Amino acid sequence: MIEAGPDPLLDGFGLVAEPEEPGHAGHRARLRARFLKGGGDALPDYELLELLLFGAIPRIDVKPLAKALIRRFGSYGRVLSAQPAELSAAGLSERAVAEIKLVHASAVRLGREETLQRPVISSWSRLLDYLRSAMSHEPVEQFRLLFLDRKNALIADEIQARGTVDHAPAYPREIVKRSLELGATAIILVHNHPSGDPTPSKDDIAMTREIVKAAGALGIAVHDHIIVGRGEPASLKSMGLM
């Protein structure tokens, strides 16, 4: 596990993180200045991650570690979205894992707040961005419901079930019951495919039609079923599958 300290440490990738020399302190100051002046766009992914790790791992050159993490997980976003156990297995200390997951949780919460502030239908791209940040890197399937009022504003965003790597249960009766409890007049169904491929399965299509039928009987519209993968989410409505 990586902890702050004066001795050389193994970072979990077969790399040795050497104690920081005076020049590294200057590097940290310059990196912070570049970030404050130009924002995140001024830094490549590994430097943004390096900046994030500064607080959790003082006195150590974290550039090799930041680059190794991005190689291991594939991108900056996937490092942030990785499960705590995965980050620990990669050699990060509990403090470093907490710092990374705090940034991810903050990004998801910001997206949720921005989505709550306006009608969902008129801010569709913002909604998709939020769903990608919240679900695209989950290791198991989540089934999520977005409950809407008559003006298509978001009343609630709830995870109804978590499942396995390729299945999450969805029960039409429970979905309708919860919609009535919240006074929702419409819902959007959302789930993720941990494989990264958002293509709907036959079971996804059949389940969606069952929910549409059950909800429609009580005057609750199902606007869409969105499947989140690694790229652009799939919309069953736009694909003509609802």
Q: Which residues of the chain have pLDDT under 50?
A: 1-21
CB 54 within 8 A of CB 28: yes
- pLDDT tens-place string over residues 79-134: 888 889 989 999 899 999 999 999 988 887 877 776 665 666 667 888 888 888 88
Mark 168-187 as b/e (b = at least 16 C-beta within 10 Å). bebebeebbebbeebebbbb
pLDDT value at residue 25? 63
Domains of the chain: 9-106 (no CATH), 119-235 (3.40.140.10)
Tell me the CA distances in angstroms from 118 to 181, 186, 222, 237, one per residue in order. 22, 15, 19, 21
